[in-house]
Structure 1
Amino acid sequence: MKRILTLLCLFVFAKVGFSQIVISGVMGNPSGTDSMYEYVQLVATQNINFSTNPHTVVFLNNGTATKKGWVNGLSISYGFHLNSGTVNKGDVFYVGGSGKKVSGGQSADISSQIWIKTLTPHTTAGDGFGSANSNGGGIFGNGGANADGVGVFVGALTANDSTAVPIDAIFMGSGIGTAKPATAGAGYTVPTNDKYSNSQGLFGEGTNTFIAPDINVASSFTQLTGTYDATSNTWTTARSAVTKVLTSAATIDSIATQITITSSNPTIVVNTAGFTNDFGLTYPNNPSSASNFVFEGSNLTDSLMISVNAPFEIRTGVNAFSSGTIKVPHSSGTITTTVLDVRFNPTSTGVFEDSIVFSSPGATDKKVYVKGTSSNYPELSFKVTSFNVSEAVGSISLQIDIANANSNATTCSLSVVGGNATAGSDYTFSSPQVINFPANSSDSIVVNIPIINDNVSEAVETIWFALSNATNGAVFSNSDSALVTITDNDYRKVNIADIRGVNANGVSDSLNKLYEITGVVYGDNLRTTGFQFTLRDQTAGIGIFSPASAFGYTVAQGDSLTIRGRLSQFNGLAQLDFLDTIIFHQSNQPLRTPFLITTLNENGESELVRMNNVTAKTGNWISGNQYVYYNGGADSVMVRLVPNTHKLIGKPKPTKAFSIIGIGGQFDASSPYNSGYQLFPRDSNDIIIPADSLSAFNLLTPANGSTVTIQGASIQTLDATWGTPIPAQGLNPATYTFMLDVPAGDFSSPLASFPSNVGGSAPSISLPYFQIINLMNAQGINVGQSISLQWTVRATTGSYNRFANQPFAITLVRERMNSVGNTANNPLAVYPNPANTDVLVEMPETINTVSVSTIEGKQVIALNNVNTFSTGVDVSMLEAGIYMLTVETATGTYTQRLAIQR
């Protein structure tokens, strides 16, 4: 136990007393929009490969600290996982927003510097914790009376690491404020560095009160100056802090680091984590298995000498084991991390103790204690010390081994010394039993323990067996006890409500028992492997969880299933896991009407619920966690969208009050489990928005009463514009239909209607003249004539329509259109030309017939008895190519080439 405690203390000291990375500057208040341009400037005190040695940088907002401290997430803290890239000792590098500018969007580009990790905080959640700030604001709160902060941690932090201690940290502002609230246990852990001491408690406690100057002015850069000795891992000159307000002309030189990294004394570092220094019992001339640990050296002036006395032996690499001294040379003063193997190889009996000594000139010696016992007496042990079996296993076999048997018989007792299983009803064994090893016999002895398979639903049961009372001087190895864990295999059929009870601390009163339930699936699969969903019967609902296997079943809402599994609880959420059976009955079963609730609590867990009159921050629905607000915005409930293929992700949130339906969940990491409730909407149908409407709008151009002459090229357009109506809910922009009608019409059956530009989404239209000519033809308007009409626009969003405030009058005058080949001698006008689907044929006199022929003279279209000055011709059936279009009038026959394009 002493060895374990010593290693634990060494581990804690390494975490808080040795900083591989130190903070040298913080851009906490860039000019303009903050989100993409906040960053921290860091200096490496040793070589780091982040892919094998990950770290986390945390930015703190000046909100109220909680018991979760640095990993609170939401808008309070935001994580950056440093898990790729490398830096060398003394390198200056950066972590922060993806803008990579010295002080805001309009400042100098510093992207050429070493950036180990960047994120876009206004659209992207932090690594492990921290919400995206969709309004573009930054993570830091710009100082003030409530301090902001930056922390650096070893490893990739998650939301569960509330006790993690940073290896370096700095706070900025004019006061501590809510960074150390009155709530007991709430606040931020601190490192042991030049400004704080972990032994003094949290930030704001004891002497942990240092705050860098305020950053409340835009372009404020916190610059730290000091000297860090990487050999002794100490600040030889403690850091001082100033706030520099950068000008628009600032460059990378304006924020050049003022931190100096030095190395001095020769140093030997030994890390014995995982090393077994007590080799236990072995026998003369029978070497033990090897155990190992690592060492390294820096600033060495000579080789490193490692020595140990017999019967302990050491080696590096694949060299032979030996006692005495081995020599490890350095390279430019450095010995990189090296493994030292150690074994115990006695030639006589006894208890042996020694220290492995590491020495090099000028460096402090390091010593590692080792111990071993050598004996000629027999040694007794269990072959297997842990069993995890089902109640249906039948029996388990305890194998007892003897080593170093001699000419005398050896006995010992096998006894039950603990556990909650009951002899006679759960297993069969009469304790104690005497185990006899004959003289000179090294054969193992096996004792079979029958396990009784009953029909009673039970919790997990255990049996502790132990060896004792050895004779013939025999000793026991470390494997002198064995634990048997028995898992019940009986599934009790229940209503879900029968197993949803909890005690005062929110802990399920049916944990670890096996149940069979039948119900209907609600919602989709929340996982990409295995599955996680909700099953509800007529009494209640419960979570269903399988981390990997899907049992060949694809989750579908409305399926009726029977499921067998173990009742467990994950962060307060009751669920069946360790599933044994899934039986599908039928699909498309009816779902219950959602419960109407005013607050989400235990009663809503695994139930389909509805909350009315909630609001959400503007922006799109995102993957993961976000909030909706109720009670006038005073309260909130977390909405969670998983997996990242959820149908709501990327869709806009309502801008005004709405109703939300979803399945209640929970994520509460500590007892009592009475908080952390979440809502899981299933799809867009669970977001219920009041009917939308549009604001009033006016027609703009052409002005009311305008006259437009239709003359010239057929591709010329009649252009109209109007104002943009605003959707009241801000969700679906309007689409538009341009309409023409007779002066007395009400546009219920307009003469013509056309979608606006850009597929109906633009508040404008460009109507080609040839389409207007078609309309005039239909109304019998010939060249030289005019028609008086009115026009308006209908705007539509969803099922809601709104017309412009007032229609405008317009007069259309028809004149001759230009056409390819149209001359004084050949007045035939054909347009558009080239054509695709329809062409308009126009003459200054009555047309009798129209025909279209191929170049070879084969007639493909014929129109007789036209008797108008103009007519349309459908050419949609013609293949691409050149054709001859001919008209016949009272005065003659006229022909033009017609090109068809496809």
Structure 2
Amino acid sequence: MKKLYTFLVVMLLSSYSFSQLIITELADPNNNSGARYVEIYNQSNSDVDLTDWELRRWTNGNAGPQNTGIDLSSIGLLSSGSFVIISPNGGEFESVYGFAPDIDAGTGGAADSNGDDQIAIFDASDNTIDIFGVPGEDGTGTCHEFEDGRAERIASVSASNPVWEESEWNVWADSQVSGCTSHTQQPVNTGDGIYDPGVWIGEASGSEPTVFALPNELINFVQFVGTSSNEQTTEVIGSNLTTDVILSVSGDYEISLTTGAGFGTSIVLTPNAGELVATMIYVRLNGSATASTSNGEITYDLGGGMAPTTIVTLSGEILNPDPVLFSSEDTLIGFSHFVGAPSSEQTFVVSGNYLTEDITVDVSGDYEISSSSAGTFSNSVLLPNIGGQVQSAEVFVRLNGASQNYNQEGMVTISSQSQAVSHTVNSGNYYYQPQLLTINVGDTVYWINDGGFHNVNFITNSVSGENYNNPESFASTPTSDAEMYFHVFTLPGTYEYDCSVGSHAANGMVGTISVVASSSPDSKTILLSGETFDYLSTDIAIVTTNDSILLADSIGVYVSVQGVVHCIDFDGNEGLSFTMIDSLNNGINVYNFVDVSDYAVTEGDEIRVLGQIDQFNGLIEVFADSIEVISSGNTLQEPTIVMALNEDTESQLIRIENVSFVDPIATFPSGSNNIDVTDGANVYTLRIDGDTDIPEGAAPQGLFDVTGIGGQYDSSSPYDSGYQLFPCGLASFEPVSTSGISESVPFNVGVFPNPFNNEVEVAFSYGPGSSLIVRDVQGRVVHSQEIKHGDKLSTLDWPNGIYLFTFKDGLHQTQTLRLIK
């Protein structure tokens, strides 16, 4: 019976020991997969024989573990309080952590998990002793994902667990997972000081309270005065706690439970059931003065009169930042305006940090700047420095030249320059006050004599005789004058000096001046470019000349031209297209796509047009920007009678006489059309504009005169064709008499009857060398002969129509008569 009792006790103790063999850490370093490992700990008070024990892995979401686990037999008896470290790459493990693992298991097994697998300990009887994860469930996105991080058993775990319990673990991974007791999105690298194979937070802790932080050292904080440093983080974990944990930080450091806010010098952490799960602590450096080394520490206090205990050491530096200026632009282009009206505004944004002076913005050339669109523009703007900063300030810039300039260049200069100032040092027996003085390069120091006979000596120490080796050496002549001496300091550095008179220096009449280099930031510049236009007051004739291919010489020139409106607005709708002719009978077309200056085109108005010379299909025109009416009801130019349409008739009031339609019509067609007419020798194109009263009106029959504006429509170079005449309306057409005898002729001729049928009789007497040519209205010769006195011509075969009989005498004088058959 006693033997049986002893056997049962041994079995119970062995079972109890098995139940205290636990997995304490799983590692999957973010930066080194070769440094992965599994840590097992014997938490019992007895040794455990690991012969035929295995570590197995369920890969991803597989329902069963791998066929072959890692055999733990090589460990033999695992002593109480001892660890087993299992690595897939023993060489890399030793290189990273400084010692060899207990088992080098090779890759692909239970120790080589990428953080989304399940891992368990099996005893010799194939019982699950302890497990991490849920078999059959891929760890990705769950509370048991430790990819690129680690999983560590909390300190309060005292027994193994064959069923996964997520509250027993602190987990770090590269993904965010919600609903877990302690799962932190924080990839962990081997150099972060967090991995600790062979160490566990619950190791031999018993019932003693434990608080620790990972990492336990934060270094390389860099802070500039006026702004806090970048934040670093550590995690605080505790177990067996009976009170709150009070964290405090020393030096110029601050801590918070949240990033970007809530920073102070202490934090209270409240445990739950004695456990403090991994809690992220944010740390930053925020000193008010420069320090080449700024150290601090985070301590915890559990009360009870015990001294605070350091858990994190901190180190960094505090720098005095160089002032800096910022500009949103470095180039602004495209400014354009006319004299008398500034250009449209453009903007840029200026800011500055760590400044000691205001920001001054200056501009050169014909440019102006202002701090607001509605403000006063000038060549300088002052932006106040508030607390060392100028927040983003918008500056408006415009071009406002006084004369035409197609290449307006300028520059914006943004600066924050320290101004030189004066300092006073009082001198007496035996003192300089202040004895220590700090100034800037360029400042002036005045020494005032309060009484006695003194000087300032910056060359040789009057007591030791050694050279001061100041950045520059000088000395004043001893004097009793009230204004003893002054000096402008142009070199930075530390200057030692004394009074070289008698034993004054030995009696304490010495001083030090520290000259600080300029703290002004580098200036910023913005290059500006644009153009200023002005309207050249000129005559129409000056801007309507052409080159050899009849391209306008003055294209692009801005002009001011004046003349009287002739005829109508051929645009008719919104926009303008009409002719103005000046007192010298030079004309130009006025054009725009839209109405200008609310001007209603009225014949007889004398107007002034400001605009740009252009050319459209050979026709020179002024593209109007503004129109000013000077007077109304002015006399129009008399039309010029022409025998041809060409460059000389462009934008002129002209008349063609004794013409008829090449293709006879009774009424004009609707809309805008080109219609040809002829005088027998030439064919002319009439442009019938749909905005006149001509379309669908009665067309003149027989011969007529027509008056209108000369135009052109030639789309290709050289622009020497496409000339037209624009009648202003039906009143532009005047029928002419067909009596057959000219009222003013160089000699007497007669042709009758008129109209004629099958023959016509010619009466002409001028002697030898006289001739007759008969043409139809298309200019084709239908009959020609020499003639002395007269003749009868058979016209039986001539089609009905208009014919032109041209007579030439021996002196080459001609006369043309028009007859109708």
TM-score by length of 2: 0.30
> Higher Cα Rg: structure 1 or 2?
2
TM-score by length of 1: 0.28
